[in-house]
Amino acid sequence: MLVEDIMNTDVKTLSPTDSIAAALKMFREHKIRHIPIVNAENEVIGIVSDRDVRDASASIFDNGSKSDLLLQNELQTIMSSPVVTVHPLDFAEEIASIFYEKEFACVPVVQNGKLVGTVTEKDMLYTLIQLTGTNEQGSHIEVKVPDRPGILPEVTAIFGKRKTNIVSVLVYPCNDDPAYKILVFRIQTMNPIPVITDLRNAGYTMVWPQDDKEPKL
């Protein structure tokens, strides 16, 4: 899945010389948490979060005049810069590492040097839901298999014999044995027992469901 498939293109922006008060108003009116700061050419030069604005605002114990004065400061005094950006043709799965490693909550999307959208941590979470198929009704199966070429089509052939539709497939390492992988299937059936039985008869180890946690019908 590409960034352009998940990004928000209706982006609210401000200039570096706009006031903190303008950002505060935009946050409240549009119920957003991040505002890209752009120049006259729509190039991203900074980003401001609602937390930045809160931190820059006066304490509730300060008098009104001081609060008003602080809110008139320009956004360039509090914005984060330089800004990490992504491209519309980047893979959404790959940019997830940016959110994790940098602890970002929003990343601007830039094409030909111009701002074209944003991706938020909420967008990434929804993408994960789509990729794993957990938003669709079905059953969850995890199978321990040898880590060798050709193993995936061998296992999926078992599902094919049952004419079971596979919604999604994930692969992750087996921590207990590096010679094995765990295949995670989301299948479009509420009765996975026949497929589970076939997998066990083929010699594969079921990680989920376990023998003592077999689905009850």
Which tens digits make up the pLDDT trace of 155-174? 999 999 999 999 999 999 99
Query: What number is the average pLDDT over the span 175-189?
Result: 93
pLDDT of residue 65: 59
Mean pLDDT computed over every residue of the chain: 90
Say whether pLDDT at 62 is over 80. no
Q: How far is CA 193 from the centre of its chain?
A: 32
- Tens-place pLDDT, residues 30-58: 999 999 999 999 999 999 999 999 888 76
pLDDT of residue 11: 97
Within this chain, domains 3-129 and 135-213 share the same CATH topology:
no
CATH of domain 3-129: 3.10.580.10
pLDDT of residue 60: 42
Q: Which residues pair with 22 in a beta bridge?
A: none
What is the C-alpha end-to-end distance of the chain, expressed in Å? 35
pLDDT of residue 61: 43
Query: What number is the average pLDDT over the span 206-213?
Result: 79
Say whether pLDDT at 66 is over 80. no
The model carries a pTM of 0.78
- Tens-place pLDDT, residues 87-130: 999 999 889 989 999 999 999 999 999 999 999 999 999 988 88
DSSP characters for 76-89? Answer: GGT-B-S---B-TT
CATH topology of domain 135-213: Alpha-Beta Plaits (3.30.70)
217: pLDDT confidence band, cut at 50, 70 and 90? very low
Say whether pLDDT at 214 is over 60. no
pLDDT of residue 212: 56
pLDDT of residue 134: 81
Rounded to whole angstroms, the Cα distance separating 138 from 148 reads: 28
Where do the domains of the chain lie?
3-129, 135-213
pLDDT of residue 56: 82
